[in-house]
Amino acid sequence: MGPLQRLLCCAMALMAAFPPALYAESVDDEFAQISPSHTTGSGEFVHGQGYGKILIRTMIFGAIPQQGIHYVPEGTDLLFALLYAGGYNDQTDLNGITIRRRGVKEIIEVDLEAMIEEGQVIPRLKDGDVINVPHNWRRDYQEFMFFAGMFTSLSSLVLSIALLSRN
């Protein structure tokens, strides 16, 4: 079982264990209209809330501050969805973002950083999209190597002092 499948299984188990208490009415069987008095549950965020606004439900996971279910206005693109979810930082890899769309077998892979640099159109989200934002493992590796180098330098200094003090 791949990491995305494990993530989806965990998300489905959480939703089954803690069903969201939504006050929504069906608008087309594609969108949900949430009343302004809606109270969100844990891991559930409503953005662009206002009476009469059509919101779509997306699930955003990975290297972002606010992982979970996000209700965003219809027509929101991937970049704004990430900003709604708390933005991105050094730990976020903007290339390799995946979108699993309901009813579509293929996973949509998005290189958001390249799209921004080249001025390409950023994909708009649809109701039920599951977005996975990968971690920037290169950044973690650089930090690890820095601390490993510092530890090696300090330990060799301590050993040198200990050997020199013996003589």
pLDDT tens digit at each of 167 positions of the chain: 666 566 555 656 555 555 554 433 333 444 454 554 555 555 677 777 666 678 889 999 988 888 889 988 888 999 999 999 888 888 888 888 999 998 888 999 999 999 999 999 999 999 999 999 998 877 666 777 788 888 888 888 888 888 888 86
With contact defined as beta carbons under 8 Å apart, do 56 and 125 qualify?
A: yes
Residue 4 is predicted with a pLDDT of: 59
With contact defined as beta carbons under 8 Å apart, do 21 and 39 qualify?
A: yes
**What do you get for the CA distance between the two ends of the chain, in Å?**
60
With contact defined as beta carbons under 8 Å apart, do 36 and 46 qualify?
A: no
Residue 90 is predicted with a pLDDT of: 80
With contact defined as beta carbons under 8 Å apart, do 110 and 94 qualify?
A: no
- Indicate yes or no: pTM above 0.85: no
Question: Which among 10, 12, 101, 85 has a CA at the least distance from the CA of 2?
Answer: 10
Residue 166 is predicted with a pLDDT of: 81
